[in-house]
Amino acid sequence: MSRIAYVNGQYVPHSRAFVHIEDRGYQFADGVYEVFAVHHGRLIGQQGHLDRLAHSLAALQIDWPMGKRPFMVAVNEVVRRNHVTNGLVYIQITRGVARRDHGFPAQCESALVITARKMPALHKPTLSKGINIITIPDIRWKRKDIKSISLLPNCLGKQQAREAGAFEAWMYNEQDEITEGTSSNAWIVTADGELVTRDVSHSILNGITRLAVLEAAAAAGLTFSERAFSRQEAAEAKEAFITSSTSHVKAVTRIDDAPVGNGHIGEMTARLLDLYVAYIEEKGGPVKTDRWS
């Protein structure tokens, strides 16, 4: 059965899903996106994704392509037409089609593309197995809080990780602090047992899964710190993991070719994975989603 995509008002076969060459997303990366996880038939973190999308659009002065209600109807319709019970929905909004010119066009209708795809259901043993990561310089622009499609450095970083036999790359800034992964947030349990993830600013994208894990941890009475942590702290960490809509809570067991702790998923990571799954199954995602930078 062929996949169906939503493209500017129409549901079309994926193979015939096209946009104009002068869509500003294609020529200028002038657009934003969101990826929702679908977990057992349910969209996870719906309010969070909508609020973050609103933040990204406002930061770039791009109009919503339609009201939020019909927008969510379209999102759900793409999920339905693609029979996705476990997987993801990808949403991209660009400023639209206009004659090429860097400044914003006087008149332009925002373009909307929605796709969905099946993926294996969340599987704790797989997430617990542990991945390798490398650390690389963060060469991105200064507005990482905007979930823009300007993802070239992220692609280069992910590719660098792959070529090094790693699943992900953590990026470090000029102060030698870890900012985040190329498509995930970075977490450690320090040598002293402190659960840490970087605080929200223009330096990172505030993940919906990050927020859900923080809420789940708080609800369970766990303490954590939202603060910058250094490459050195990461190298000496007892535990490490990444979070994202598609990686959920995924154990990191090697950083730059050295084992993290005993080289297996840590206790805190395993607990947070359990808490996270229970939390999203109960709440559907994070509840407080009002601060993006």
User: Nearest approach, Cβ of 16 to its own copies (angstroms)?
Assistant: 9
Q: How far is CA 214 from CA 158, 192, 198, 210, 242, in A?
A: 25, 19, 12, 6, 13
How many beta carbons lie within 10 A of that of residue 105, not counting itself?
14
| Contact yes or no for 43/35 (Cβ under 8 A) | no
* Cβ-based nearer residue to its own copies, 110 or 148: 148
| Chain residues in the site for its own copies (CB under 8 A) | 5, 7, 17-30, 33, 60-61, 90, 92, 100, 102-104, 113, 115, 137, 139-143, 148-159, 161-162, 182-183
* Cβ-based nearer residue to its own copies, 190 or 246: 246
User: Nearest approach, Cβ of 154 to its own copies (angstroms)?
Assistant: 6
**∠ CA(45), CA(217), CA(148), 5° rounding?**
40
DSSP 8-state assignment for residue 15: G
Burial label, 257 (beta-carbon count in 10 A; 0-12, 13-18, 19+) = exposed
User: Nearest approach, Cβ of 57 to its own copies (angstroms)?
Assistant: 13
CA 82 to chain centroid, in Å, comes to: 22
Q: Which two tokens stand for residue 5?
A: 């995509």
Four-CA torsion 96, 100, 103, 108, nearest 10 degrees: -30
Q: Which two tokens stand for residue 195?
A: 């659960």
* Cβ-based nearer residue to its own copies, 156 or 287: 156
User: Nearest Cα to 27, choosing from 74, 95, 73, 119?
Assistant: 95
* Cβ-based nearer residue to its own copies, 61 or 223: 61
The one catalytic residue in 68, 118, 147, 250 is 147
| Contact yes or no for 203/229 (Cβ under 8 A) | no
User: Nearest approach, Cβ of 167 to its own copies (angstroms)?
Assistant: 10
CA distance 153 to 134: 15
User: Nearest approach, Cβ of 103 to its own copies (angstroms)?
Assistant: 5
* Cβ-based nearer residue to its own copies, 100 or 288: 100
* Cβ-based nearer residue to its own copies, 91 or 196: 91
What does DSSP say about strands 42-43 and 31-39: parallel, antiparallel, or unpaired?
antiparallel
Q: Which two tokens stand for residue 22?
A: 């002068």
Query: Is position 147 annotated as part of the catalytic site?
Result: yes
User: Nearest approach, Cβ of 58 to its own copies (angstroms)?
Assistant: 13
Among all residues, which ones are annotated catalytic?
A: 147
